[in-house]
Amino acid sequence: MDDRTSLALPAPLRLVGFGIQLREWTDEDVPDLVALYDDPEIDRWTPVASPFGTGDARDYLAAARTKRADGHTVQLAITTDGRTALGEILLFHSAVDGRDVELAYGIGAAHRRRGLAAGAVRLMVDHALRNTRARRAVLRIEDGNTASEGVAGATGFVLTDDDPVVRTAKGREVVLRTWCHLGDGGRPTGW
């Protein structure tokens, strides 16, 4: 039996709350996707290619659609108006424990420090924990990424004592610490 959490969530998926609207990506979003990912901070903290141009954006969307269709990953545009993409949030099976769901996000440089990441994380965590069989929702954050650590703390995540996760991205080893979402009872979900 496969213990992995199913991410075969209905499509198109649209989540609304906290002044945020999350929606599926469209081909019309290619320029916004380029603006989002062709950025030094996104390059620093994510495995996304840099520089990131129009062809990269098209390839990225094609891969996102394939992973979505396979039920492995949900990638949604972060908007405030339902149209203009200001960032992205991802929900995927944890490579460490398939019973966990992991979130990742990025906000375009011109849109940071507006609470967009926190709103998107709150919406996605709530949806994931209600609509999947996830044991827990986690964020994996590299030491030094204080912006992401701030979002984690502001959205009900706590740093765990899980062993660090080591991944290779862009030819370098990345050490990530695991943050677990606190459930309604004030304890990390799944504990």
- Radius of gyration over every alpha carbon of the chain, rounded to an integer in angstroms: 16
The answer to whether 78 touches 116, Cβ cutoff 8 Å, is yes
pLDDT digits (tens, 9 = 90+) for 32-91: 999 888 877 777 777 777 788 899 999 999 999 998 888 889 999 999 999 999 999 999
pLDDT band at 20 (very low <50, low <70, confident <90, very high): very high
From residue 104, alpha-carbon distances to 2, 54, 185, 186 in Å are: 24, 22, 24, 22
As a whole number, mean pLDDT of residues 135-145 equals 91
Q: With bands split at pLDDT 50, 70 and 90, how would you rate the model's confidence at 1? A: very low
Six-digit token string for 75: 């990638």
User: What's the pLDDT at 45?
Assistant: 75
- Encoded tokens for 84: 């203009």
Specify the CATH number of the domain 14-135. 3.40.630.30
Going from N- to C-terminal start, the domains of the chain cover 14-135
Tokens of 19: 């002044």
Closest CA to 177 of 143, 136, 145: 143
**Which pTM was predicted?**
0.87
**C-beta neighbour count of 87 within 10 angstroms:** 23
